[in-house]
Copies of this chain bind each other. A is one copy, B any other.
Amino acid sequence: MEDGTSKALGYCTGTYDDQVIQWDTRADCDVRRILDRIADKWSLLVIALLDRQTMRFSELRRAIDGVSQRMLTVTLRHLERDGLISRTVYPVVPPRVDYALTPLGISLHQVIKSLVTWTEDHQGEIARAHDEYDRRAEQEEHQQAVLGASV
């Protein structure tokens, strides 16, 4: 993930025979990184919690139930490296480190919200799709059993 564009370069180069594909080709290049970032287990929560407020490491840790110290550190480092959050160390004893969204982070947060809104608006549809799919799958499994018995 750090070595950039490993294999799969094929679809990073612009056009197909019959149509111009504007952005899916970049999916593996830049989009993939920030997508991997916001989609990983804890980043989204961190970004959401830092909306309009600064938080200390321990505050984040308490707020995000279930995160390990290690993963919170890793997550924060990644977000910082991407320029989405800032990390401020106060040279006091005991140490104090504050995290906050950067302007870039705030801007991303706005975009993410539209995705969250979409999900909220469509969670019912998705749930229904799951039910239907599972119901069909179970039915087909049943068919199999019947056919198997007749042989």
- The residue in chain B whose Cβ has the minimal distance to the Cβ of A132 is B83
Task: Kindly state the separation between the CA atoms of A125 and B84 in the bound complex, as whole angstroms.
Answer: 10
- The residue in chain B whose Cβ has the minimal distance to the Cβ of A39 is B39
What's the tally of chain A residues with a CB closer than 8 Å to chain B? 59
Contact status of A104 and B125, CB under 8 A, knowing A8-B65, A23-B113, A111-B115: yes
Q: Which of B84, B114, B116 contacts A114 (CB 8 A)?
A: B114
User: Is the Cβ of B35 less than 8 Å from the Cβ of A36?
Assistant: no
Residues from 26 to 52 in A contacting B, C-beta threshold 8 Å = 26-28, 30-36, 38-40, 44-45, 48-49, 51
User: Is the Cβ of A83 less than 8 Å from the Cβ of B26?
Assistant: no
Provide the main secondary structure of the chain A interface.
helix
Contact status of A118 and B107, CB under 8 A, knowing A36-B39, A39-B39: yes
Task: Kindly state the separation between the CA atoms of A81 and B128 in the bound complex, as whole angstroms.
Answer: 10
Q: Interface centre among A16, A64, A132, by most B CB within 10 Å?
A: A64
- The residue in chain B whose Cβ has the minimal distance to the Cβ of A11 is B65
User: Is the Cβ of A107 less than 8 Å from the Cβ of B122?
Assistant: yes
